[in-house]
A and B are shown apart, each in its own frame.
Chain A
């Protein structure tokens, strides 16, 4: 570590005003503060000093995403090998998934961080670290067959229009990863929904088969429930060995991530819990009084296991920037996300999944919820002050 510190100190003058690499100042600064916690502290006002800064928080989230990502890679391979009837062991499946997912991660980071670097340089600001998490989330919420150029267009759109125009990290109204997905979803529906995009059918470097076996259907369980009948509950829905977006399928892997987030205090248990409560209650309501469709009859626990519900609840709804910030508001915010996700799933005629739209919708209302909570608190305390006098 010392050697690295010395090396950074030695090359630092090149990046300062007048140095020969001044154009890459923000890049250097970004790497330096990523590797070492900066020594500068606030000089005015009251602050809590803590070893954790936002770069460290982001790192925790990326670590929490790892189980879901690694499982997602394995599942991509697993689905592919089963769909094509090819023979392969655990490592071959994992390697196939790794090779299928890696380009998406690279594209997402290169495009997103590239724009962030340019903007930081242009506005003479530090590089903001928010994209560290978004860049990892984005490949995990797209289907495996999503073309890379579409991903690049969507990431560029989302970083510019959902994030930088609002003022960058910490100022955005919408979750940038979900805006990326929403852009893909509405711009290129054929590559983002339906039955044909969730399982990869091509071999990579000779790994796996190159043709689906006869009678193969790549539909997700939710897709099946939307058009045909509700699939019976199976443990694959919990372990995640089913078609779906890359990182969203496994409840177990996401639960490990949730444990890391809660243990490190990055995500709020209030939001997370209330999303599940909202979803479960809404599922039960539809079970009891819903319309006579397969997806409305789907048991509430299947609703929670399937699709992006868990992933959205754990990693998207708890995003500290776009969620409610008041403690009571988090309950309302989470509950409405869960309920809304199930409502969209059951009642809209078009697409089987509702988590993305539910979270984006509640992102808009988060400031309103906070406002109501704060105003309530003020008027309650004002009344108390009057009655005490």
Chain B
């Protein structure tokens, strides 16, 4: 067990969640972060889906990494990812149909998510299955974390609800003059919130700032 959770493996797992976050530091996967974060529920489902797909595709590619011919490795990776995306998509349709409708094409578009291909190319092709699995889960959770923060702010301020439960839409609140902010439901605001998270993180951790 000691080897499985060595300091290096812990680093592989935890770095993408905080200091090497795929969204805020590497600025990958922004498109879906804008598209699915207007409500909290689809954002959580999307984050989990990406986590599962990244973890499994990392493991699969890592297992066959020595037999993949270098020239066609991208195609092989795509086939693995596509198969997993299809499984997750069908699973969602079967057991969480409403969310699957809300996510619409974005589940299918996980295949083009830069985080996935990035992890496969950069990590799974060069590391063993266990490290790759940790790396995949870490990156997926790092992505999910940002999605959930953004969706929390957007749903609370934009619709006045959280996970569909009413938080702010009471008559007393309305009489006080409060109105939900419609801009929060539009994609530009997701970008601004992601930018604020990046701003906060870089202000707090000076080592993330580029020298200019």
Bound state CA distance, A187 and B182, in angstroms? 4
Contact A187 B183 (CB under 8 A): yes
Contact A188 B177 (CB under 8 A): no
Bound state CA distance, A150 and B180, in angstroms? 11
Closest residue of chain A to B184 (Cβ to Cβ) is A187
Q: Does A227 contact B (CB under 8 A)?
A: no
Q: Does A291 contact B (CB under 8 A)?
A: no
Contact A186 B192 (CB under 8 A): no
Q: Does A235 contact B (CB under 8 A)?
A: no
Contact B186 A191 (CB under 8 A): no
List, in ascending order, chain B residues with CB within 8 A of A91's CB. Answer: none
Bound state CA distance, A183 and B188, in angstroms? 11
Bound state CA distance, A189 and B184, in angstroms? 12
Contact A191 B179 (CB under 8 A): yes
Chain B 154-182 near chain A by CB (<8 Å), digits 1 or 0: 00000000000000000000000101011
Contact A188 B179 (CB under 8 A): yes
Bound state CA distance, A149 and B184, in angstroms? 17
Smallest beta-carbon distance A166→chain B, Å: 12
List, in ascending order, chain A residues with CB within 8 A of B181's CB. Answer: 153, 187-188
Contact B182 A186 (CB under 8 A): yes
Contact A149 B177 (CB under 8 A): yes
List, in ascending order, chain A residues with CB within 8 A of B179's CB. Answer: 150, 188, 190-191
Q: Does A194 contact B (CB under 8 A)?
A: no
List, in ascending order, chain B residues with CB within 8 A of A161's CB. Answer: 192
Bound state CA distance, A186 and B182, in angstroms? 6
Given contacts A147-B177, A149-B177, contact A183 B192 (CB under 8 A): no
List, in ascending order, chain B residues with CB within 8 A of A147's CB. Answer: 177
Bound state CA distance, A190 and B174, in angstroms? 13
Closest residue of chain A to B199 (Cβ to Cβ) is A165
Bound state CA distance, A113 and B199, in angstroms? 22
Smallest beta-carbon distance A154→chain B, Å: 10
In the complex, which range does the number of interface residues on chain B fall in?
under 10
Bound state CA distance, A150 and B183, in angstroms? 12
| B177, B179, B184, B192: most-surrounded residue (chain A CB, <10 A) | B179
Given contacts A147-B177, A149-B177, contact A188 B192 (CB under 8 A): no
Chain A 161-202 near chain B by CB (<8 Å), digits 1 or 0: 100000000000000000000010011111100000000000
Closest residue of chain B to A185 (Cβ to Cβ) is B183
Bound state CA distance, A312 and B181, in angstroms? 26
List, in ascending order, chain B residues with CB within 8 A of A190's CB. Answer: 179
Chain A 85-113 near chain B by CB (<8 Å), digits 1 or 0: 00000000000000000000000000000
Smallest beta-carbon distance A179→chain B, Å: 11
Smallest beta-carbon distance A190→chain B, Å: 7
List, in ascending order, chain A residues with CB within 8 A of B177's CB. Answer: 147, 149
Closest residue of chain B to A183 (Cβ to Cβ) is B183
Smallest beta-carbon distance B179→chain A, Å: 5
Smallest beta-carbon distance A223→chain B, Å: 19
Bound state CA distance, A272 and B184, in angstroms? 34
Bound state CA distance, A150 and B182, in angstroms? 12
* Residue in A149, A150, A153, A186 whose CB lies within 8 Å of B186: A186
Bound state CA distance, A149 and B181, in angstroms? 12
Chosen A-B contacts, 19 in total, with CB atoms closer than 8 Å, are A147-B177, A149-B177, A150-B179, A153-B181, A161-B192, A183-B183, A186-B182, A186-B183, A186-B186, A187-B181, A187-B182, A187-B183, A187-B184, A188-B179, A188-B181, A188-B182, A189-B182, A190-B179, A191-B179
B contacts, CB < 8 Å to A: 177, 179, 181-184, 186, 192
Shortest 4 CB-CB contacts between residues of A and residues of B: A187-B183, A187-B181, A186-B183, A187-B182
- Apart from the given pairs A153-B181, A187-B184, A188-B179, 16 other A-B contacts in the complex at a CB distance below 8 Å: A147-B177, A149-B177, A150-B179, A161-B192, A183-B183, A186-B182, A186-B183, A186-B186, A187-B181, A187-B182, A187-B183, A188-B181, A188-B182, A189-B182, A190-B179, A191-B179
